[in-house]
C-alpha cells in the first residue's frame, strides 16, 4: 500500500482502482474538484441555452417545457452539485494541511460523502434521458411539484436526498476534524480563516440539511404513496414546503459564501504581503453571519402573505446580516491598505470580488426592505442580485482559488497569462450579463419566463445580457483549456510557490506525500509558516515530534458500494408509483447492498497500516531527492 | 493626468445616467414610473434605499481603490515589506456602528410601509345600508389565466381587470390549481395567490389607462407555475369612477345572456355546442368557471393574454391552443371543429362586447 505511493507509473486499471477506493483527503479533494467542474460546465451550458432563448423576444430556440427543465437543473446543479463540491474540493485539499493533520477525522466517511454526492448527482442528471428533468424550479414549490407530470420531480427528490446525505456526512466530518485534529499549538484563535469558515459552514450544513431532508422525504412519500403532506385538498399545506425549503435554503447561501470568504481571506494576505487585518473580528463576523443566516429565511417569502409582523421581523433581521458582512469587506480593504499588492491571477479575482460582492450585498439590503421587495421579488432584479452574490462572490473565489491552490493540489501552476485573459473575459461578461438585469426587473420583467413579448421595453437589455453570457462561457472554456495545458506542464517540486505563503499548507513541499507532514508541525502563532520563515527557519517548520512510524487508514471500496446501493434503490422508489412489478425488488436489492456493505464495514476490523520510518525516508527521497522535505 | 481622470469621470457619469434614463421602461409595465399611492411609495423606498446603498458603495469603492493604488507592489518595489498590523478596535467599532445607523434609518420607512400595505381593515367596512364602502375584487389565478370577480356587484370577468381611479381597491387573492403571483408592476408590488388560503392586499390606480399605448396596464404572473408561466399575462383597464360605474351597469345588464344551440348563426351554434360548458357569455355570476368568462371579449386587448387582438389570432388559438400556451387546460376539451365552424365561432366571440 505505502509503496504504491512511491511508484509513480501505474497502469490505468490500478490508477482507477486507487481513485475508486481512496480515502486520502487530497485525492478526494481532486475528485470533488473535477466532479464539481463537470457539473459546473453542464449547468453553465444550461444557462447559456436559456440566455440564447431570451436573446430576442418571442424566440423559439427552446420550448417552454424544456426551458423550465433548464432553469430547474441550472439552479439545482449550480448550488448542490457544482458550488458545493468545488468548495468541498478546496476544504479537502487544504484544511487538513492548514491544521497540520494527517487526514480528516473519518477518512472512510469522507470517501462515502463524495460517492453519495456523485451518484446522487448522476442519478439526477439521468432524468434528462429518462423522460424529462425536474421542471418546478430549484425551489420546487409544492403545488407545482405535485402537479408536475412524469418523473422529473422524483429524480429531483431522490437525487438530492442521496447527494444531500453525502454533504451532511462531509459537514460532520469537517467539524470533528477541525475540533480534534489540529497540530500542537494550533489554538482556535490561530486557525487560518479558511479553516474557520469551513468549521462554521460545516456547522451550518449540520443544522440546515436536516430540514431539507425532511422536506424531501415528505415530498417523496407524497409522490410515492399519496401521503398528502402538501396536497391542500386533502388537508395538506404547501406553505410548509416553502418554510422547510427556505429554512434550509437560506443557510445554504451562507454554506457556500462563507468558504468563499475564507478563501479570499487566505488569498488577500498572501498577495498583499500583510497579515489579515482584524483577524478576531473576522472570526466573530463569520460566526455571527452563520448564526443570523438561520434567522432570516422568511425574507424569501415576503409576498407569500405571512402578515405584516412576520415580514417586519424578518426584514430587520435580514438587514442585520449586512453588518458582519460589511465588517469583513472593510477588513479585506484594510488588509490591502498599506500592504504590498502583487496582482497575480488569484489576487485579480480577489480584487474583482470586492466591488462585485458589495454590489450584490447592497441590492440584498434593498430587498430586505419588505415593501420594496413586493416589487423586486421574483423579478429579474432578484436574479441579478443573487448572481452578483453567487458569481461575484463564490465563483470568483473558486476560480481564484484554483489558481492559488493548483500548485499544492497538482504540483503544477496554472498559466498566469491565460488566467488573466480568463479573468477579464469572464469578469466583463459577468457584469454585462447581470448588471443590466437589475433594470429588467425594475422594468417589470418577471423571472423564470421562457420568453417575452416584444415592445415591453426589455428587448435591448435582454440582448446585452445574452452577449455577456456568451463572454462568460468563453471565459470558462479558457479556464478549462488552461487546466488541460497545465496538466502537461513540468512539475514544480517546490515549497511556498507564491513566495509569501503564511499558513501551514505552504510549509510543505509539493508534491505532498500521502501522509502529509512527515512529522506533525508545532504551531507557534497565527500565520505559523510566515513566523518560521521570518525567523529564518530553513526547514519550513519546527516539528512537535521525532520522525516515527505513521498510522494511516486503508483504502476501501465499501463507500462506493454503499453509494451504488442507494443509487439502485432510488430507481426502485422512482418507478414504484408506475406499478412496475420490479420496482419494490429493486428498491430492496439496493438497500440490501447498502446495508450489506455497512455490515461488512462494522464486522471487519480495519485498523489501517503503519508507514515505517524507512519507508518515509525512501518516499521523501523519491519525491524531493536527497534530504527529503526540508 | 488629472485632466484625463476628470474626463473619464464625466464620461462614466454620463454613461451611468444614460443607462438610468433609458432604463425607466414602458409606462404600462415599469415599476420606475409608478401610478397610484402604493407604487409611488414603493418607488420612493427604492430611491431612498438606492441613495443609502450608493453612499455605501461609493465610500467602499473609494477606500478600496485608494488602498489598492497606494499598495501596488509594482510601485513599492519587489522587496518592500509592509508592517504586519493586527487590526484596530477603533476602526472595527466605526464600521460596525455606521452601518447599524444606516440600517436603522432604512428600517423606519420599511416598517411603516410594511404595516400600512398590510392594513386591509377597510375591506369589511359597511355604510348605513350595510353595503361595503370599498371596492373588492376576488382574484382567482388559474393555469394560465386570471378570473376577476366583483362580489358586491355580482359580476365576474376574466383576463382584463377593470378598476376605478383614485380609490383603494382591495383584492382577495387565491389560486385554483398551483401557486401563482399577482403583479401589476406599474401600480404596485405583487402578492402570491396561494392554493390553501386567501391573501388580501390593496392597490391604488392613479390614472386612467386610456392614453397608454394599448389603453391598459400590463399584469403578470410572477411565480413559476408551469410551461406557460411566461404567457400568463393579464391587462388592467383603469376608468374614472363614472366610467367604472357604467361598465358595472353594462356588465350587470348582461344577466341571463347565453348562446343558443338553436341559433341560425353558425358561430353562436358552435359556441353553444362546444364552448359554453366552460365559457360564460354573461357577466353576472361568481368565480369558479372552468374557462375565462367571454362576455367582454370584443372589448379586450389580447387573445389568450398574449396574442394580438384579431380574428386571425383567435382562430389560431381555437385551432391549436397547445401550440400557443403549452400545458393549458383547454386543449382537447371541445372536440374537432371544422375551419368553417372555427371562423364562425371566432366572429361570434369577437362580437361579444358591452362597450359601444
For residue B131, what pLDDT is reported?
Answer: 86
Nearest to A100 by CA among A405, A629, A409, A505: A505
**CA distances, A277 to each of A187, A190, A274, A383, B86 (Å):** 19, 14, 8, 33, 6
Q: How many domains does chain A have?
A: 1
Q: Which residue has the higher pLDDT, A229 or B15?
A: A229
Q: Do B218 and A444 touch (CB under 8 A)?
A: yes
Q: Tell which B residues from 182 to 201 touch A, by Cβ distance under 8 Å.
A: 183, 185-186, 188-192, 194-197, 199-200
Question: Would you give the DSSP letter of residue A203?
Answer: H
Does pLDDT of B296 surpass 90? yes
Chain-chain contact of B99 with A322 (C-beta, under 8 angstroms) = yes
Interatomic CA distance for residues A533 and A500, integer angstroms? 9
Contacts B327 to A, Cβ<8 Å: 64-65
Q: Are residues B106 and B170 in the same domain?
A: no
Question: Same structural domain for residues B191 and B311?
Answer: yes
Cβ–Cβ of A341/B68 closer than 8 Å?
yes
Distance from CA of A403 to the nearest CA of B (A): 20
Contact between B147 and B287 under an 8 Å Cβ cutoff? The reply is yes
Q: Report ipTM for this prediction.
A: 0.92
Cα distance between residue A55 and residue A45, in whole Å = 15
Tell me which of B52, B85, B119, B176 to substitute to probe the interface with A (most A C-beta atoms closer than 10 Å): B85
Residues 451-480 of A with CB under 8 A from B: 451-453, 455-458, 460-461
Interface test mutation site (partner A, options B87, B200, B324, max chain A beta carbons within 10 A)? B87
Q: What DSSP character marks residue A391?
A: I
C-alpha span between A381 and A40 (Å, rounded): 23
Residue A442, in any domain of the structure: yes
**How high is the mean pLDDT of chain B?**
92
- Could you tell me the residue range of the domain that residue B333 belongs to? 135-350
Q: Touching check for A315 and chain B: CB below 8 Å?
A: yes
The answer to whether residue A4 scores a pLDDT higher than 80 is no
Distance CA A108, CA B298 (A): 70
Indicate the residue among B82, B117, B152 that finishes a domain.
B117
B18, part of any domain: no
Assess contact for A376 and A446: CB atoms under 8 A: no
Instruction: Judge: B67–A334 Cβ closer than 8 Å, yes or no.
Output: yes
Asked if B323 and B202 sit in the same domain, the reply is yes
Distance CA A43, CA A73 (A): 7
For β-strands B135-142 and B168-175, DSSP reports them as: parallel
Please choose, from the candidates A288, A470, A305, the residue with its C-alpha nearest in 3D space to the C-alpha of residue A374: A305
**Where does a domain end: B50, B84, B117?**
B117
Task: Provide the percentage of residues in chain A whose pLDDT is more than 90.
Answer: 90
Kindly indicate the confidence band of residue A623, based on its pLDDT and cuts at 50, 70 and 90: confident
Q: Are residues B93 and B156 in the same domain?
A: no
By Cβ distance, the residue of A64, A305, A341 closest to B71 is A341
C-alpha cell at A111: 470517501
A566 in reach of chain B (CB within 8 A): no
In a domain, A565, yes or no: no
Residue A102 lies in a domain: yes
Interface test with B, best of A446, A450, A526 (most B CBs within 10 A): A446
- Interface size, chain A vs chain B, as Cβ–Cβ contacts under 8 Å: 300
Closest among A369, A531, A513, A455 to B212, alpha carbons compared:
A455
Nearest to A94 by CA among A197, A204, A200: A197
Host H or E run for residue B172: strand B168-175
Would the CB atoms of B113 and A371 count as touching at under 8 Å?
yes
What are A300-339's pLDDT values in tens digits?
Answer: 999 999 999 999 999 999 999 999 999 999 999 999 999 9
A44 pLDDT band, cuts 50/70/90, is very high
Does residue B207 sit in the same domain as residue B296? Answer: yes
Q: Residue B8 domain-assigned?
A: no
- Tell me, yes or no, if A64 comes closer than 8 A to chain B by beta carbon: yes
Same domain? For B107 and B246 the reply is: no
Q: Whole-angstrom Cα distance, residue B38 to residue B44? A: 10
Please check whether residue B261 lies inside any domain of the structure: yes
The interface residues of chain A toward chain B in range 267-286, judged by CB-CB distance below 8 A, are 272-275, 277-281
Contact of B32 with chain A, judged by CB distance below 8 Å, is answered with: yes
Give the gap in angstroms from C-alpha B106 to the nearest C-alpha of chain A. Answer: 8
- Flag whether A84 is in a domain: yes
Q: Does residue B234 lie within any of the structural domains?
A: yes
| Residues of chain B contacting residue A439, judged by C-beta atoms under 8 Å apart | 19, 23, 25
| All residues at 6 or more sequence positions from B294 whose CB lies less than 8 Å from its CB, including other chains | B158, B275, B279, B280, B281, B349, B352
Q: How do residues A145-185 score in pLDDT, each as one tens digit?
A: 999 988 999 999 999 999 999 999 999 999 999 999 999 99
- Cβ-nearest to B227 among A65, A442, A446: A65
The CATH code of the domain that includes B292 is 2.60.40.420
Give the pLDDT confidence score for residue A625 in this predicted structure. Answer: 76
Same domain, B109 and B141: no
Judgement on whether residues B53 and B202 belong to the same structural domain of the protein: no
Under a CB-based contact definition with an 8 Å cutoff, are residues B37 and B206 in contact? yes
Tell me how far apart the alpha carbons of residues B157 and A35 are, in angstroms, rounded to a whole number. Answer: 53
- Could you tell me if A186 and A100 are in contact, meaning their C-beta atoms sit under 8 angstroms apart? yes
Would you list the DSSP string of A121-135?
Answer: HHHHHHTTTTT----
Host H or E run for residue B204: strand B199-204
B40 and B90 part of one domain: yes
CB contact under 8 A, A336 and B68: yes
pLDDT confidence of residue B130: 83
Q: Which of B42, B194, B196 sits opposite A374 (nearest CB)?
A: B42
- Give B48 to chain A, closest Cα distance, Å: 9
SS3 label, residue B264: coil
How far apart CA B170 and CA B203 sit, in angstroms, is 7
Instruction: Give which of B64, B213, B307 to mutate to test A binding, by max A Cβ within 10 Å.
Output: B64
Which one of B52, B107, B223, B323 makes the best mutation probe of the A interface by having the most chain A beta carbons within 10 Å?
A: B223
Kindly tell me if the per-residue pLDDT of A3 is higher than 60.
no
> Which member of A320, A362, A375 has the closest CB to residue B189?
A375
The bridge status of strand B307-308 relative to strand B302-303 is: antiparallel
- Total count of residues recorded for chain A: 630
| CATH number, domain containing residue A489 | 1.20.210.10
Q: Give me the percent of chain A exceeding a pLDDT of 70.
A: 98
Rg (CA), chain B: 27
Residue bearing cell 480563516: A193
Q: Of A136, A340, A442, which is closest to B31 when you measure between CB atoms?
A: A442
Model pLDDT, residue A6: 44
Question: Residue B144 and residue B221: Cα distance in Å, rounded?
Answer: 9
| Residue appearing with cell numbers 477518512 | A107
Residues 209-238 of A with CB under 8 A from B: 232, 237-238
For residue B273, the distance in angstroms to the closest alpha carbon of chain A comes to 30
pLDDT in tens, A246-265: 999 999 999 999 999 999 99
Q: Is residue B122 part of a domain?
A: no
Residues of chain A positioned with their CB less than 8 A from the CB of B107: 315-316, 319
pLDDT for position A577: 87
Considering only CB atoms, A65 lies closest to which of B95, B114, B326, namely B326
**Best residue in A65, A374, A447 to probe B by mutation, most B CBs within 10 Å?**
A374
Q: How many domains does chain B have?
A: 2
> Distance from CA of residue B250 to its chain's centroid?
26
Reduced to 3 states (helix: H, G, I; strand: E, B; else coil), residue B288 is: coil
Work out the mean pLDDT of chain A and round it to a whole number: 94
Residue B258 backbone dihedrals phi, psi, to 5 degrees = -155, 170
Q: Indicate the range of A96-100, B95-99, B128-132, B324-328 predicted with least confidence.
A: B128-132
Q: How far is B261 from chain A (nearest CA, A)?
A: 36
Give the gap in angstroms from C-alpha A214 to the nearest C-alpha of chain B.
Answer: 21
A213 by Cβ neighbours in 10 Å (0-12 / 13-18 / 19+) ranks as middle
Cα A622 to chain centroid distance, Å, stands at: 34
What are phi and psi for residue A266, nearest 5 degrees? -85, -45
Given an 8 Å threshold on Cβ–Cβ distance, is B189 in contact with A377? yes
Range of the domain at A109: 2-556+606-624
From A226, A206, A240, A331, select the one nearest A278 (Cα to Cα). Answer: A331
Please indicate, yes or no, if residue B217 is contained in any of the structural domains: yes
Question: A34: how many CB neighbours lie within 10 A of its CB?
Answer: 14
Question: Which among B53, B84, B185 has CB closest to A274?
Answer: B84
Residues contacting A499, CB < 8 A, separation 6+:
none
Same domain, B106 and B210: no
Considering the domain architecture, whether residues B177 and B316 belong to the same structural domain is answered as yes
Give the residue on A whose Cα is nearest the Cα of B115.
A308
Q: What pLDDT shows up at residue B335?
A: 87
Please say whether the beta carbons of A144 and B224 come within 8 A.
Answer: yes
Angle at A370 between CA A369 and CA A374, to 5 degrees: 120
List phi, psi (to 5°) of B92: -60, -45
* B95·A137 Cβ contact <8 A: no
**B72 backbone dihedrals φ, ψ, rounded to 5°:** -65, 130
Query: CA-nearest residue of chain B to A140?
Result: B224
Shared domain check, B224 and B291: yes
Does some domain include residue A586?
Answer: no
Within a domain: B65: yes
Helix pair A396-410, A25-53: axis angle to 10 deg? 150
Mutation target for B interface from A241, A296, A350, A375: give the one with most B CBs within 10 A.
A375
List pLDDT tens digits, range B158-207.
Answer: 999 999 999 999 999 999 999 999 999 999 999 999 999 999 999 999 99
**Three-state DSSP class for B157?**
strand
For B221, residues 6+ apart whose C-beta sits below 8 A from its C-beta are A446, B141, B144, B180, B181, B182, B183, B229, B232, B233
Q: How far is the C-alpha of A539 from the C-alpha of A542, rounded, in Å?
A: 7
- DSSP structural state of residue B69: H
Q: Does B10 map to a domain?
A: no
Amino acid at each position: 500500500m505505502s509503496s504504491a505511493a512511491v511508484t509513480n507509473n501505474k497502469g490505468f486499471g490500478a490508477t482507477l482502482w486507487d481513485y475508486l477506493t481512496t480515502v486520502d483527503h487530497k485525492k478526494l479533494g481532486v475528485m470533488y474538484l473535477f466532479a464539481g467542474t463537470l457539473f459546473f460546465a453542464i449547468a453553465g451550458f444550461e444557462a447559456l441555452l436559456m440566455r440564447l432563448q431570451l436573446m430576442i423576444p418571442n424566440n423559439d430556440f427552446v420550448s417552454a417545457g424544456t426551458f423550465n427543465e433548464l432553469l430547474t437543473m441550472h439552479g439545482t446543479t449550480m448550488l448542490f452539485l457544482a458550488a458545493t463540491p468545488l468548495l468541498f474540493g478546496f476544504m479537502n485539499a487544504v484544511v487538513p494541511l492548514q491544521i497540520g493533520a494527517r487526514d480528516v477525522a473519518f477518512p472512510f466517511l469522507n470517501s462515502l460523502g463524495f460517492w453519495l454526492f456523485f451518484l446522487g448527482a448522476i442519478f439526477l442528471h439521468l432524468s434528462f434521458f429518462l423522460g424529462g428533468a425536474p421542471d418546478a424550479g430549484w425551489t420546487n414549490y409544492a403545488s407545482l411539484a405535485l402537479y408536475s407530470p412524469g418523473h422529473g420531480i422524483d429524480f429531483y427528490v431522490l437525487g438530492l436526498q442521496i447527494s444531500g446525505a453525502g454533504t451532511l456526512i462531509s459537514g460532520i466530518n469537517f467539524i470533528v476534524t477541525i475540533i480534534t485534529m489540529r497540530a500542537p499549538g494550533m489554538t482556535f484563535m490561530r486557525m487560518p480563516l479558511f479553516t474557520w469558515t469551513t468549521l462554521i459552514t460545516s456547522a451550518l450544513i449540520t443544522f440546515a440539511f436536516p430540514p431539507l431532508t425532511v422536506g424531501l422525504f415528505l415530498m417523496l412519500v407524497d409522490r410515492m404513496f399519496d401521503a398528502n403532506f402538501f396536497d391542500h385538498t386533502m388537508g395538506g399545506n404547501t406553505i410548509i414546503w416553502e418554510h422547510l425549503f427556505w429554512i434550509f435554503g437560506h443557510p445554504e447561501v451562507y454554506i457556500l459564501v462563507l468558504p468563499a470568504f475564507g478563501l479570499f481571506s487566505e488569498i488577500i494576505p498572501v498577495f498583499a504581503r500583510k497579515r489579515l487585518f482584524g483577524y478576531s473580528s473576522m472570526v466573530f463576523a463569520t460566526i455571527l453571519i452563520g448564526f443570523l443566516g438561520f434567522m432570516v429565511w422568511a425574507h424569501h417569502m415576503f409576498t407569500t402573505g405571512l402578515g405584516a409582523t412576520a415580514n417586519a421581523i424578518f426584514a430587520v433581521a435580514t438587514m442585520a446580516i449586512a453588518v458582519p458582512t460589511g465588517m469583513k469587506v472593510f477588513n479585506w480593504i484594510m488588509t490591502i491598505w498599506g500592504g504590498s499588492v502583487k496582482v497575480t491571477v488569484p489576487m485579480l479575482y480577489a480584487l474583482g470580488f470586492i466591488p462585485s460582492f458589495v454590489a450584490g450585498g447592497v441590492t440584498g439590503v434593498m430587498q430586505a426592505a419588505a415593501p420594496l421587495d413586493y416589487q423586486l421579488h421574483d423579478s429579474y432584479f432578484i436574479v441579478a442580485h443573487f448572481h452578483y452574490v453567487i458569481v461575484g462572490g463564490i465563483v470568483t473565489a473558486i476560480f481564484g482559488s484554483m489558481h492559488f491552490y493548483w500548485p499544492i493540489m497538482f504540483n503544477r501552476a496554472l498559466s498566469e497569462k491565460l488566467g488573466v485573459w480568463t479573468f477579464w473575459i469572464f469578469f466583463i461578461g459577468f457584469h454585462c450579463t447581470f448588471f443590466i438585469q437589475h433594470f429588467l426587473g425594475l422594468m417589470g420583467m418577471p423571472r423564470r419566463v421562457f420568453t417575452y413579448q416584444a415592445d415591453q421595453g426589455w428587448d435591448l437589455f435582454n440582448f446585452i445580457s445574452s452577449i455577456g453570457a456568451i463572454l462568460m462561457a468563453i471565459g470558462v472554456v479558457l479556464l478549462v483549456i488552461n487546466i488541460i495545458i497545465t496538466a502537461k506542464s513540468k512539475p514544480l517540486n517546490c515549497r511556498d510557490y507564491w513566495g509569501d505563503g503564511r499558513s501551514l499548507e505552504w510549509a510543505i513541499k509539493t508534491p505532498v506525500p500521502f501522509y502529509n507532514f512527515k512529522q506533525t508541525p508545532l504551531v507557534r502563532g497565527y500565520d505559523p509558516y510566515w513566523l518560521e520563515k521570518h525567523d529564518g527557519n530553513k526547514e519550513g517548520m519546527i516539528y512537535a515530534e521525532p520522525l516515527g512510524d505513521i498510522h494511516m487508514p486503508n483504502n476501501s471500496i465499501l463507500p462506493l458500494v454503499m453509494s451504488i446501493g442507494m443509487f439502485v434503490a432510488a430507481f426502485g422508489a422512482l418507478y414504484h408509483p408506475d406499478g412496475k412489478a420490479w420496482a419494490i425488488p429493486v428498491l430492496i436489492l439496493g438497500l440490501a447492498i447498502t446495508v450489506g456493505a455497512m455490515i461488512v464495514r462494522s464486522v471487519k476490523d480495519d485498523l489501517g497500516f503503519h508507514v515505517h520510518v524507512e519507508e518515509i525516508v525512501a518516499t521523501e527521497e523519491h519525491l524531493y531527492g536527497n534530504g527529503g522535505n526540508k | 493626468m488629472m485632466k484625463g481622470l476628470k474626463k473619464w469621470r464625466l464620461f462614466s457619469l454620463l454613461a451611468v445616467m444614460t443607462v438610468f434614463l433609458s432604463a425607466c421602461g414602458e409606462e404600462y409595465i415599469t415599476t420606475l414610473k409608478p401610478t397610484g399611492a402604493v407604487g409611488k411609495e414603493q418607488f420612493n423606498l427604492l430611491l431612498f434605499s438606492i441613495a443609502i446603498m450608493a453612499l455605501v458603495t461609493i465610500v467602499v469603492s473609494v477606500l478600496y481603490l485608494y488602498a489598492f493604488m497606494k499598495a501596488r507592489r509594482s510601485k513599492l518595489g519587489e522587496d518592500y515589506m509592509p508592517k504586519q498590523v493586527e487590526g484596530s478596535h477603533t476602526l472595527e467599532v466605526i464600521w460596525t456602528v455606521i452601518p447599524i445607523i444606516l440600517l436603522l434609518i432604512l428600517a423606519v420607512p420599511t416598517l411603516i410601509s410594511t404595516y400600512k400595505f398590510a392594513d386591509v381593515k377597510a375591506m369589511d367596512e359597511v355604510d348605513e345600508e350595510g353595503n361595503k364602502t370599498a371596492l373588492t375584487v376576488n382574484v382567482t389565478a388559474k393555469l394560465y389565466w386570471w378570473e376577476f370577480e366583483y362580489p358586491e356587484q355580482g359580476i365576474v370577468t376574466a383576463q382584463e381587470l377593470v378598476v376605478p381611479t383614485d380609490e383603494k381597491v382591495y383584492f382577495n387573492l387565491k389560486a385554483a390549481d398551483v401557486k401563482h403571483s399577482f403583479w401589476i408592476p406599474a401600480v404596485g408590488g405583487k402578492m402570491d395567490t396561494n392554493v390553501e388560503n386567501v391573501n388580501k392586499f390593496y392597490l391604488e390606480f392613479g390614472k386612467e389607462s386610456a392614453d397608454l399605448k394599448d389603453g391598459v396596464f400590463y399584469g403578470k404572473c410572477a411565480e413559476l407555475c408551469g410551461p406557460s408561466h411566461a404567457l400568463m399575462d393579464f391587462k388592467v383597464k383603469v376608468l374614472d369612477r363614472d366610467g367604472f360605474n357604467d361598465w358595472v351597469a353594462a356588465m350587470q345588464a348582461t344577466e341571463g345572456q347565453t348562446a343558443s344551440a338553436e341559433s341560425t348563426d353558425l358561430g353562436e351554434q358552435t359556441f353553444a355546442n362546444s364552448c359554453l360548458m366552460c365559457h360564460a357569455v354573461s357577466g353576472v355570476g361568481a368565480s369558479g368557471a372552468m374557462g375565462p368568462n367571454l362576455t367582454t371579449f370584443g372589448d379586450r386587448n389580447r387573445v389568450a393574454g398574449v396574442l394580438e387582438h384579431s380574428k386571425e389570432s383567435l382562430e389560431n388559438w381555437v385551432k391549436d391552443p397547445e401550440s400557443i400556451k403549452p400545458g393549458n387546460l383547454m386543449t382537447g376539451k371541445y372536440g374537432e371543429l371544422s375551419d368553417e365552424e372555427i371562423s364562425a365561432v371566432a366572429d361570434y366571440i369577437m362580437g361579444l362586447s358591452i362597450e359601444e
